[in-house]
Structure 1
Amino acid sequence: MARWFYGLLLILSVAVLLSVYISPLHVPLAGLLSLGIPLLLLGHGVLFVFMLLSRSRWFWVPLLVLVLSFPYLKATFRWPSADRFQEARTEETLEVLSYNVHLFRYNREKRNPAEFRESIARWLSEHPADIKCIQEFYQDETTASTHMIRRLAQDQGMHISYQPVQRRRQRQSIGMAIISRYPIVNEGRVFDNSRNNGVIFADIRWNSDTIRVYNAHLESMSIQAEALKDVEGFKENYYDVARKIRNGQVTRARQLAQLQQHIADSPYPVLLMGDFNDTPYSYLYFNLRQNLSNAFERAGSGFGFTYNRVLFFLRIDHLFYQEDFFDVTDFKTYSAVDYSDHYPIGALLRKRSGTP
């Protein structure tokens, strides 16, 4: 009986682990299955310790699953290290930042959204990053306080590529922005969905090289996180949430194909960052890892959660880079900067030694 039980457990566990390699376009439920990977890792960790202490001869089953889970463990957690981010800055490093600013209108604890707008604008203006990718960028030219292109770029002597996705009025729009200390020599968009999602790019002259920076905001799931803050809310909204997760994963799989083709055609080394609306246990994440490296996995600390709402345990903002050109020296999640429903993420990179 035990042989059948542990055999079935092993088969099911491997099936869950392999679900990240199955496109939601072909099997929509595969994406839902992959969301169970964190619980799978936790469960097998507890089971392994229990079976080891009880001297069960079947301890090798959870041990084998944990060994097979190494790529997922690597994407989940890095041993915390001292924060030496600013100390690691040199003349040779390139500091980059990604931030979903929630239209500069985050409203929390019934506070005035204008307080958050001013806090986030001040923080972004003072941040020393050489390149800043901003999602949900709200531009309103009717007042000085909401003219963010001027405040965050022009007044700072920075270059900017702003791609509006949705225009509300003649002088008001929602879009995405790439702000750079270095000259922008080309710009454009990969796609957009006419709401506030999409991917844009800018070719930036960095010293003697040109690099291509992608700013991504992939399909949102439009889940009301507050509705899941207790057991009753979860029960009432379970099926609706599952449907939105499945539909979002299918749409992001289509967007991924467009993005990967654009990256493959890039004549320059690539940086890709933004709000991907997908966890590290997803088809999208593991596909991007095939050709790009993830900065958190190389230089992050802790769990690196980036979502600032009820579902606080999510890391859905990512930074990928082309490893044959860049080295990442440090990565940081700014979890103390709570002016939006996302935390900013940043990294220090340098040109790989020996690269022409």
Structure 2
Amino acid sequence: MKYFIGFIFICTLLIFGSVYVSPEDFPYVGLLPFLIPVFWLLNLFLFFLLILSWKKEAFIPLLVLIIGFRFAEITFQKNTSEENPDGIKVLTYNTHLFDYKTRTEGKFDPSVYAWLQQHTADIKVFQEFYQDNTTPSRNSLKILGGDSEMEYSYQIIDGNPSRRSYGMAIFSKFPIINDGKIFDNNRANGAIFADILYQSDTIRIYNVHLESMQINSQTLENLDGVKENYRQTLGKLHRGSLARSKQLKVLEEHINNSPFPNIIMGDFNELPYSNTYFRLSKNHINAFETAGNGFEFTYNKILFFLRIDHIFSSPELEAVEFTTHREVDYSDHYPVSATLRFKK
């Protein structure tokens, strides 16, 4: 039993430490953080088992739980949010090209635009944003921008600018004084920014969509599917984590050169237990950690227990409200919103 406890102790520490190692530096290290919840719960089970057995070895899993308390914090939160707080309200949403209902139910649902128009966020950022200049009902820039009296920055990843295209967009009730594209991969992923004038301050808004996991979740719905596809899935997870690490390096350089406070949000395709999350957390605060409640999962498919959409901000800003809008099912992601304000 002692050797087993010692083995679990060493394995857990190695897995915990994997979040501080870049997938570029150590092959397949990006897969280890997926085991963090499993080993954290295993040590919790061992702790109670050894306590009930009056074994002095109980201090070993207890030590692990203390060391890994940070992982509990980024998994579950219980914060008291203010009602109707003052501050800058932001929203991020992977829209799935506004055609998720078309693919799943066979018909386009325009009510997604109505919900987004009615939401009170001052800043709205969208990934997988679809623009159709030929069809008024799909002219997303006009519906969400002109009709809502919001300025916008739209950066095309692919398509014809005069007809149909898709990319990433930032909408703002405040003036946009500068904007641009940081990178894209010529498919669906990338990062853009816009500088906005908020009261007497300038804030840089980042809209981020890092490399997708590209996992067909339908193949993981049953045990047979898992058996047949686990090797392919592991390969995709590895390649995805490596690509996101390289993309993050480009983004970090841009962020480090930013002369303004930052709000970084979007679809990161990363769990909180990842090198990407911990790298961004070094100099930025995650809104979920200061204002979230419960688990706040953001993925709307069979792997519902994933929180891969995040809102980070510079330390000058604090989140006083955070919401995952799980009632909004127009995409394979749920919209995420937060209210942030400058610290006094």
Q: Is the TM value for this pair above 0.5?
A: yes
User: CA offsets per residue over residues 29-54 of structure 1, 9 Å max, x none?
Assistant: 11111110011111111221222122
Amino acid at match of 1:350: R
* Map of 1:97 onto structure 2: 91
Cα RMSD (Å) of the superposition?
1.4
SS in 1 for 2:77: coil
* Map of 1:317 onto structure 2: 309
* Map of 2:6 onto structure 1: 7
SS in 2 for 1:65: helix
* Map of 1:201 onto structure 2: 193
SS in 2 for 1:246: helix
SS in 1 for 2:322: strand
Task: Please list every run of at least 4 consecutive aligned residues from structure 1 whose deviation after the TM superposition is greater than 6 angstroms.
Answer: none
SS in 1 for 2:100: coil
Aligned-partner Cα distance in 2 for 1:140–1:287 = 37
Matches within 5 A, 1:206-355: 206-323=198-315, 325-353=316-344
Alpha carbons of 1:287 and 1:110: their partners in 2 closer, same or farther (altered >3 Å)?
A: closer
Does structure 2 retain, via aligned residues, the 8 Å contact 1:106–1:113? Answer: no
* Map of 1:143 onto structure 2: 135
* Map of 1:128 onto structure 2: 120
User: CA offsets per residue over residues 79-138 of structure 1, 9 Å max, x none?
Assistant: 275xx66x3333xx10000000100000389423412xx121110010010000111000
User: CA offsets per residue over residues 190-229 of structure 1, 9 Å max, x none?
Assistant: 1000111000000000011110000000001211111101
Amino acid at match of 1:65: V
Give the C-alpha shift of residue 9 in structure 1: 1.8
Does structure 2 retain, via aligned residues, the 8 Å contact 1:306–1:335? Answer: yes
Matches within 5 A, 1:9-28: 9-28=8-27
Matches within 5 A, 1:146-185: 146-167=138-159, 170-185=162-177
Taking only the aligned residue pairs, the percentage that are identical comes to 46
Amino acid at match of 2:77: R
Amino acid at match of 2:98: F
Does structure 1 retain, via aligned residues, the 8 Å contact 2:291–2:322? Answer: yes
* Map of 2:84 onto structure 1: 88
User: CA offsets per residue over residues 218-261 of structure 1, 9 Å max, x none?
Assistant: 00121111110111111111000000000000000001111111
Q: Unaligned 5+ residue runs, structure 1?
A: none
Aligned-partner Cα distance in 2 for 1:99–1:250 = 24
Amino acid at match of 2:317: F
Does structure 2 retain, via aligned residues, the 8 Å contact 1:161–1:202? Answer: yes
TM-score, normalised with respect to structure 1? 0.94
